[in-house]
Amino acid sequence: MTDASQAALRRAEKSTIGFLSAIFAVRMFGLFMLLPIFAVLGTELNGATPLLIGTAIGIYGLMQACSQIPFGVLSDYFGRRPMLLIGLALFVAGGVVAALSSGIYGVILGRALQGTGAIGSVIMALIGDVVSEKNRTRAMALIGMSVGSSFIIAMVLSPILAKWLGLSGLFWLTAGLGVVAAGVALRVPSPDVRTSEPLPVRQRFAQVLGNGNLRRLDLGIMFLHLTMTASFVVLPQLLKQRLGLSLEQNSLLYLGVLIGGFLAMVPLIIIAERRGAMPIKRIAVVLLIVSEVLLVLSGATLWHFILALFVYFMAFNLLEALLPSLVGRAAPAGTRGTAMGVYSSSQYFGIFIGGQLGGALYQWVGPEAVFAGCAGLGVIWLLVLHGMRELPKLDNRVVHLGPGVDRGQVAQRLRSVPGVLEAVVVAEQGLALLKVDGKQLDEAALEALASEVKSG
């Protein structure tokens, strides 16, 4: 590749990462705005009860969990951009339904409809399509930071906006932000994955669910978001009750520790890219456990909370960056969208379970039980990681072979080429989907084999 081509590729990657980060940030900002105010303003809705208010908050995560896999699978067939636009349209429609509702059941319906627009798996698959392996972890880190920034900004602005707009106005605002995100999505590159990942659904699910590394990563993201949700069911109340901090002061505290944790994470990300992700991942899980133990011991001292949250956000941001990058490496050839769908569903199930578990432990046992339970889950996560080896940095490659090829024979010959680790032949389309080690790949041998198969 020439220097000019490499420069063009870098520019394309940067713009794509920027667009996808913007979509995530705008959409998540619209959702996060409801968190600090809905439990209060929701009581004004007709038929509202504490249980139904909790349902309105949690139904979004449940629907996201149920919809991520279908969106990931469909994006493998119909392309990433169409599914992005469909997901954002559902998000906008849900915001309109909730804005027009005067009762709690209408809001629940609107929140459920918003949750069905599950584009997280599509965005992560798109990053895998268009961002090179060496830049993928950084791309995930930037998207994670954009989501974190949206969370903090929303927490700061939400009480002010709620005073001006009311609950209905906030839902109208979320719908408007969804329209803005759809406009950004129109500028995102749309690679033709319909021919690069055309495996049958059953075959893709069998490969994804049967992969031990992917199961570990899916369980990891579920644990990460379970502990996050459970912890933050308790933290705002503790900061208010024990330290006397207002909601606005809580937001400023989160802002400081989030930025500090992100800056502390950057050197570890660089080390992970150069020397391997698995040791850094284990360190991050240990830091997560340490942060939860510090929260158990925090008492009523401000600097204890600051230290615990600093360690927590450093670990959380690090894991948010590493895990999806590892999923991209572990996914068998032709299954990235499906693998990301399962991964994203695991994440949202973690959010849903974490909210229920955190609330139950807080109500029946006490706040320290929540943090202790999260630390215990972190220990289980470490045990799950035992024996998981470093995943090689592989590239995906599509080779055109022509129609009528012998699936089994050609796949075996492709796997014999130095540097080709996986080969799946789709005879109906005359394609081979490969996962290759770019440093060891014998390009000449691969081209010669492809030419031989085409001609003969």
Q: What pLDDT was estimated at residue 51?
A: 67
Between CA 376 and CA 60 the distance in angstroms is 27
DSSP state of 434: E
Q: To which residue do tokens 């990460």 refer?
A: 224
- Given a cut of 90, whether residue 144 has pLDDT beyond it is no
Q: CB–CB of 368/296 below 8 Å? A: yes
3-class DSSP state of 200 = coil
For the chain, the average pLDDT equals 79
Residue range 1-136+158-190, CATH number: 1.20.1250.20
Least confident range from 35-49, 110-124, 295-309, 340-354: namely 35-49
Backbone region of residue 261 per phi and psi (left: phi > 0; alpha: psi in -120 to 50; beta: other values): alpha
- Given a cut of 50, whether residue 322 has pLDDT beyond it is yes
Which of these CATH numbers, 3.40.50.970, 1.20.1250.20, 2.130.10.30, 3.40.50.1000, describes 210-393? 1.20.1250.20
Between CA 158 and CA 251 the distance in angstroms is 11
Between CA 124 and CA 109 the distance in angstroms is 27
DSSP state of 431: E
Mean of pLDDT values over 184-191: 75
Q: Does an H or E element contain 433, and which?
A: strand 431-436
Q: What pLDDT was estimated at residue 404?
A: 65
Residue range 395-455, CATH number: 3.30.70.100
Give yes or no on whether 210-393 and 395-455 have one common fold: no
The secondary structure of 302-358 as a DSSP string is HHHHHHHHHHHHHHHHHHHHHHHHHHHHHSPTT-HHHHHHHHHHHHHHHHHHHHHHH
DSSP state of 34: T
3-class DSSP state of 394 = coil
- Which residues lie across from 425 on neighbouring strands? 432
Q: What pLDDT was estimated at residue 456?
A: 63
Q: Tokens in use for 94? A: 């849900």
- Range of 11-25, 165-179, 181-195 with top mean pLDDT: 165-179
Q: Does an H or E element contain 197, and which?
A: none
Quick one: what percent of the chain has pLDDT higher than 90?
Answer: 17
Q: Does an H or E element contain 210, and which?
A: none
380 pLDDT band, cuts 50/70/90, is very high
- What pairing do the DSSP bridges indicate for beta strands 420-426 and 395-400? unpaired
Query: Which comes out higher in pLDDT, residue 254 or 10?
Result: 254
**Residue 132 identity (one-letter amino acid):** S
Backbone region of residue 377 per phi and psi (left: phi > 0; alpha: psi in -120 to 50; beta: other values): alpha
Query: Which comes out higher in pLDDT, residue 103 or 198?
Result: 103
Q: What pLDDT was estimated at residue 236?
A: 75
197 pLDDT band, cuts 50/70/90, is very low
Mean of pLDDT values over 212-224: 91
Q: Does an H or E element contain 397, and which?
A: strand 395-400
DSSP state of 395: E
The model scores a pTM over 0.85 = no
| Structural domain boundaries in the chain | 1-136+158-190, 210-393, 395-455
Mean of pLDDT values over 376-387: 90
32 pLDDT band, cuts 50/70/90, is confident
Q: CB–CB of 345/68 below 8 Å? A: yes
Mean of pLDDT values over 308-329: 85
